[in-house]
Structure 1
Amino acid sequence: MTVIPTYTPPDFTRPELKSAPVVRVAPAPADGVLPERFHATSNLPEYIHLGGGRWLLARQGRMDGVLVLRGDVLEVVEPRRVRQGDPVVIARSEHGEEGLYVHAAGFAATAGAAAEFAFRTRGTRESPFSRSYDTLYEVLQHDRRDGYIVWVLGPAVVFDRDSRDAMSALIDAGYCHALLAGNALATHDLEAARFRTGLGQDIYTQEL
């Protein structure tokens, strides 16, 4: 079984993509202000059509950003970082009708028909399935053996005894090579270790 799935790019010769119009952009009217009909990004690979069958993949995708086209570079930008005049992609459809294509099944071919069905039937893109955790376990095992695992944590992980113990077990088992956090995590972890409380509440019963 392939742990790290292979990415399969879209088939841009498909009729609906081959006939797609050139994507439209509109200037941001002010710093941090988006033009009407802006496209909010997903956690999936996203392409725009520049014309002549040339599609451009967005760099470093992320949820709830916007696409800004600067020359031949398509960036995903947080709305608050958009500056007046930035050329923001505008589109309300995701299947090529407006020159924008969100590739929902890029990893489904490797994972199999069941995974492709899951891609197309989940309630939202953020919704996990039980099988998603099976894949996560396999990726963690793979990266512990052949790579590095970096966790980015907030203080909530130590406000509950079970989640704190689970994270400790992962670290003890070698599933953490680096941990990135602010001082809140360290402060509340020390509180939990010394007093078994988080912000004064018992980390098991949640009682004050």
Structure 2
Amino acid sequence: MTRSRTVELEGHIIDSGTMQRCFGAVMDLGGSFDVEQFDVGKHETEESYCRLTVSADDAETLRAILHELHQNGAVLEDPSAVDLVAAPADKVVPPDFYSTTNHPTEVLYDGEWIDVERIEMDCALVVDPDGSEDGSARAYTKTLNAVEEGDLVATDESGIRVNPPERPRSGGGAFGFMQGGVSAERPSESTIREVAAELRAVKEDGGNVMVVAGPAVIHSGAGDALADLVAAGYVDALSAGNGFATHDLERSIYGTSLGMNVETLEHPRKGHKHHIWTISEIIRAGGIEAAVEDGIVSEGVMYECVRNDVDTVLAGSIRDDGPLPDTITDAVEAQDAIRGQAHEADLVIMLATLLHSVAVGNCLPSTTKTVCVDINPATVTQLLDRGSAQAIGMVTDIGTFVPTLAEFVLEGDE
């Protein structure tokens, strides 16, 4: 028996590719569609509207099709209010709970569409009927381990509207509509200059810049350039691991990174012990900030982060030596700390770290401008595959990218 539902699409659905994706999803999943109304926007700022009936041979196929259409911004005709079910216990969500995308989202509650706060992918959607300061309803995301008994959790997709990014009405440069992609053939210098211009613009507008950095930034000799950006006030938050901080601190104390002098490429005698000696010195001092205050650490990225009060999160790993006393070894606690940084960011620059890039990317809404740089194309590919389609992917040497970026950013301050 054929099952059918009518859905609506509205916005810049033609030039943003929404219609193409929706029609393709219906056909790929074995359904069919009948366009009942199609009003085309007649100039670049006028929105289009499409109403179509989607059909499938069985309810399960129709449900799968509607799910895909929902992810692309389609809404059921005459949508019902969001379906809310109380969580039966802490960390337990109802069956068929709604799993969020990273796109801006709204819920229909008490006759009004409410914006969902702190949007990120793979979370539960919770509605608090009187959670706002004025006593009105509030909707927001919660990770599964943060769900509490009694939380009103959205189920299915009724009363939920997703708003994927649309092609902007003006040019967006390197950060234009869905520029995500991986290529070693991008004109690197011009792209870096555009990233530098965006970085300056974000700061001039009072925005927040987050840097996600891996140890290769230090090993490649790019640490000085990143430290210069921090010192000049262009970095508000740093997310990294124990290794990045250890090798940056090692360079300040011993002049090496993982036992190697990054300028001469020489390996001093007993240099392989420098990283663990560094950790010992920082523990003895009582932490990174104390080591800076005591003069044990006198330069580098971590030094500048302390001196400039940059919000820093060091997330631990099972591989960590030591670790540094500043490293958060509880994985859930580290996730929450990174999530707090990500929700404040207007621009995120990811530098040579696969695991941290994907972790931060999972916390970002699709509207956050993101650039991911790595010599390994797999890093950028995995980030995009996980849903961060807004990211600019640059396959290039981090030791060249960061100094060039710093040069372009700081030349405007001269």
| TM-score in terms of structure 2 length | 0.35
Judged with a 3 Å threshold, the aligned counterparts in structure 2 of structure 1 residues 133 and 66 are, in CA distance, closer, same or farther, namely: farther
Aligned mates of 1:38, 1:201 — CA distance in 2: 51
Map of 1:8 onto structure 2 = none
Kept in 2, the 8 Å contact 1:26–1:87? The answer is yes
Deviations 1:146-190 (A, max 9, x none): 435443546546454255355245446x36254446893543311
Residue 149 of structure 2 is matched in structure 1 by 84
1:67 aligns with 2:132: no
| Corresponding residue number in structure 2 for 1:103 | 163
Percent identity, aligned pairs only? 24
Larger RCO: Structure 1 or Structure 2 (Cα < 8 Å, ≥ 6 residues apart)?
A: 1
Q: Secondary structure in 2 aligned to 1:110?
A: coil
* Structure 2: 5+ residue stretches without partners: 1-46, 52-74, 130-136, 273-414
Equivalent of 1:37, from 96, 111, 118?
96
CA 67–186 in structure 1, closer or farther in 2 if over 3 Å, else same: same
Measure the CA separation in 1 of the matches of 2:152 and 2:122: 17
The 1-side partners of 2:194 and 2:88 are apart by: 43
- CA drift of 1:140 comes to 0.7
* Structure 1 ranges of 4+ moved more than 6 A: 129-135, 201-205
Instruction: Specify whether residues 111 and 154 from structure 1 end up closer, same or farther in structure 2 by C-alpha distance, changes over 3 A only.
Output: same
User: 8 Å contact 1:155–1:188 — kept in the other structure?
Assistant: no
Q: Please list, as runs of the form range in 1=range in 2, the aligned pairs for 1:98-177 lying within 5 A after superposition.
A: 98-105=158-165, 108-111=167-170, 119=178, 127=180, 136-147=195-206, 149-151=208-210, 153=212, 156=215, 158=217, 160-161=219-220, 164=223, 167-168=226-227, 170-171=229-230, 174=232, 176-177=234-235
Q: Give RMSD over aligned pairs.
A: 4.1
Q: What's the secondary structure of 2:94's corresponding residue?
A: coil
Alignment length (residue pairs)? 180
Which amino acid is the alignment partner of residue 25 of structure 1?
L
Distance 1:149 1:68, change over 3 A: closer
The within-5 A match list for 1:45-60 is 45-50=104-109, 52=111, 54-60=112-118
Distance 1:178 1:114 in 2: 24
Greater Cα offset, 42-51 or 80-89: 42-51
Q: Which has the larger radius of gyration?
A: 2
Q: CA deviation at 1:69?
A: 0.6
State how far apart, in whole Å, the 1-side matches of 2:140 and 2:171 are.
Answer: 31
SS at match of 1:187: helix
CA distance in 2 between counterparts of 1:118 and 1:148 reads 20
CA distance in structure 1 between the aligned counterparts of 2:192 and 2:150, rounded to whole angstroms: 42
Distance 1:61 1:195, change over 3 A: same
Structure with the bigger percentage of helix: 2
1:19 aligns with 2:78: yes
**Aligned partners of 1:65 and 1:78 also within 8 Å:** yes
**Contact 1:42-1:64 within 8 A present in 2 as well:** yes
Conservation of the 8 A alpha-carbon contact between 2:87 and 2:147 = yes
SS of equivalent residue, structure 1 residue 143 = helix
**Which ranges in structure 1 are unaligned for 5 or more consecutive residues?**
1-10
Q: 1:161 to 1:114 in 2, by over 3 A?
A: closer
Once the two structures are TM-superposed, the CA of residue 134 in structure 1 deviates from its matched residue by 7.5
TM-score, reference length from structure 1? 0.63
Change (3 A) 1:55 1:145: closer
Partner of residue 197, structure 1: 257
CA distance in 2, matches of 1:113, 1:192: 39
Partners of 2:94 and 2:260 in 1: how far apart?
45
What is the aligned partner in structure 2 of residue 5 from structure 1? none
